[in-house]
Amino acid sequence: MKVQGVWLPIVTPFINDEVDYESYQKLIEYYLQKGIHGLIPLGTTGESPTVGEAEFEQIIDRTVAIVNKRVPVFAGVGGNCTHKTVQLVNKIEKYNIDGILSVCPYYNRPDQNGIYQHFLKIAESTDLSILIYNIPYRTGRNIENDTMHRLAGIQNIIGVKDSCGDFKQAIELLQHRPADFSILTGEDILFYSTLGLGGDGGILASAHLETGKFVSIFNLMQENNYQRALEIWREIADLIPLLFVEPNPAPLKYCLWNQGLIQSPETRLPITGISEGLKARLNGVIMVEND
């Protein structure tokens, strides 16, 4: 399958330390109506490190049921123990998801061959499509472009969420892209630039807000209407850095709660609520969208 467009790494709403499935369904329906191209539950934005095993499976099950094949669903499934990651992937195959987003092994910092072997083992264990997530400032290890090219040769590894943090590396991957391999940015502020350089889209936490504009930018770029896309991009580009001034997804959850899309801005420790200062700044720029 071709992965492209605006994909949403959806937040996991909580209320009284329980998953708020009422708000979660409301969010999914809202973003499907806004025209997102794919949905990713249980990514970092979904606070996956704090989600329990039973919650993890229930969230996937609920997501697939609510979406009902209207867009592809890729679940965030990764780890730094290859064996455990394979076990988890095999466990969730029964939920009829379309694929997984799997992060580079973190903390134990494998070399490039270890990274390759990790993803090879995952790919060999499943028929699910796999997007690789390269985010070295979280994992402590960069997936180099040579390794990415090797991984792209594995049949069911179909693309990358590129948050490498090195624009030169990102440009080189786009210029010398593997065949039939989707490149989506995970650096929200690089969305327009990535599309202009031939990228396939973005997996964007900030697309929880101004979603229609993100989708319009992608559609306009597909039509080669770069100037109009740039005009819309300039309307939202200043908002993006504000959403990451304090740890994601706390600023997003505050905005979603402020807009009435979720019942609580609650996060789970070690993520805490945002400061009063950031609340004031966000209140100054976030408007409730009129549907």
Residues classed as catalytic: 133, 161
Q: Is 43 helix (H, G, I), strand (E, B) or coil?
A: coil
**Which one-letter amino acid corresponds to residue 117?**
Q
Query: Which tokens hold the place of 85?
Result: 């990651």
